[in-house]
Amino acid sequence: MDRPDEKTIEKVLVGLATQEEARLVARWLATEEGSEYFSEHFYKECEHFSQEDAELLVNHEIPGDKMWEVICSRIRRRKIKRYVGRVAAVLLPLVLVIGLYFRLDSRVNLFGTGPLEELYVPKGERIQMAFQDGTRMYINSDSHLKYPVQFGLGDREVEFEGEAYFKVAKNENRPFIVKLGDTKVKVLGTSFNVNAYSENEQITVELDEGKIDMVLAKGDEVRLHPGESFVYDKATCMYRINKVENVGNSSVWKDNILSFKDERIEDVMVKLERWFDVEFVVDTNLADNILITLSSQNATLESVLSELEMISPLTFRYEKKEKKVYVEELD
């Protein structure tokens, strides 16, 4: 953590600091840098108790060297005791605060510095999960999530790759951060869909309700409003904001609905590979003008392939044991 300024540290050491300042300095004193600072500060103060200081308190001639040594020794002991007493009066509450912080941290991860858990949702599966702050997350197939077992006192932060729908519990003092590579979604209390598979050329975030800020690699922030989508090109680092015609349509997958609207057949097959955990095998290049519009709930792979054959110039042969779908274009 950053070192507090000298004025704040001094206020704490002399007992004039506020509780917030004391907590700040206490956390810093618990670091290696803080411990070294305090040790140096203490010894420097002790070195100030020199013979010159002792002479100021003796207003008569010293009867002898032995007496001189006894008097100086007593003066030093008293001054050191006063100093140690003053330091202890300040330090003991700080030690208690530090101890309390780290005792609580060991139980609830106050500082959010614990190891991250990793979750992978394989192809053909979708799951729901809830965090301890009340945030819910619906995770689509072939997605990766890294998250703390418990959020700390600061930001609530996760790392994600794939597709997911978030319903974030509102907390204005603790933003929820979703890291998508070098881009972040900063959330206060919101529902939104994220599509950020590693192989995709773009990251798409569609906001249903609430508000979010997209934090770009250079630190710039872009505000997104309900009914808008943020499309970010990974290669060029350029982005655009689009108006969404049917809000929520991109996230119907969480209700087990397959939905495509004017999507290229190649993109449709990629989504079906994740959804059903199969591989599409295409021997020839398909026509670029094959666009698919289809919606189906709780569908099987066989039923989806049958519907695709009805609306496209393609035939599909599903080999269940191989988990492969062979695709051919009609003459």
Residue 137 — left, alpha, or beta (φ > 0 → left; ψ -120 to 50 → alpha)? beta
Mean pLDDT of the chain: 79
Claim: this prediction has a pTM higher than 0.85: no
- 178 in the same domain as 128: yes
- 145 in the same domain as 46: no
Residue 125 lies in a domain: yes
Domain count, the chain: 3
Whether residue 54 is predicted with pLDDT greater than 60 in this model: the reply is no
Per-residue pLDDT tens digits for 68-119: 455 555 555 555 555 544 544 555 455 455 455 445 444 445 445 567 899 9
- 129 in the same domain as 49: no
Q: Name the residue with tokens 């979010």.
A: 212
φ and ψ at residue 159, rounded to 5 degrees: -115, 135
- 219 in the same domain as 120: yes
Query: Which CATH number fits the domain that encloses residue 192?
Result: 2.60.120.1440
- 242 in the same domain as 260: no
> Strands 202-209, 191-196: parallel, antiparallel or unpaired by DSSP?
antiparallel
Alpha-carbon radius of gyration of the chain: 32
Contacts of 230 (CB under 8 A, 6+ apart): 203, 204, 205, 206, 207, 214, 222, 224, 239, 240, 241
Residue 1 lies in a domain: no
What was the pLDDT predicted at 171? Answer: 84
- 282 in the same domain as 235: no
Residue 139 lies in a domain: yes
Query: Which CATH number fits the domain that encloses residue 301?
Result: 3.55.50.30
Query: 87: buried, middle or exposed (CB in 10 Å: 19+, 13-18, 0-12)?
Result: middle
- 21 in the same domain as 59: yes
What was the pLDDT predicted at 21? Answer: 73
- 122 in the same domain as 239: yes
- 235 in the same domain as 122: yes
- 222 in the same domain as 155: yes
Whether 135 contacts 167, CB under 8 Å: yes
Residue 211 lies in a domain: yes
| Residue numbers of the domain that contains 279 | 256-329
Mean pLDDT of 176-194: 92
What was the pLDDT predicted at 104? Answer: 45
- 222 in the same domain as 267: no
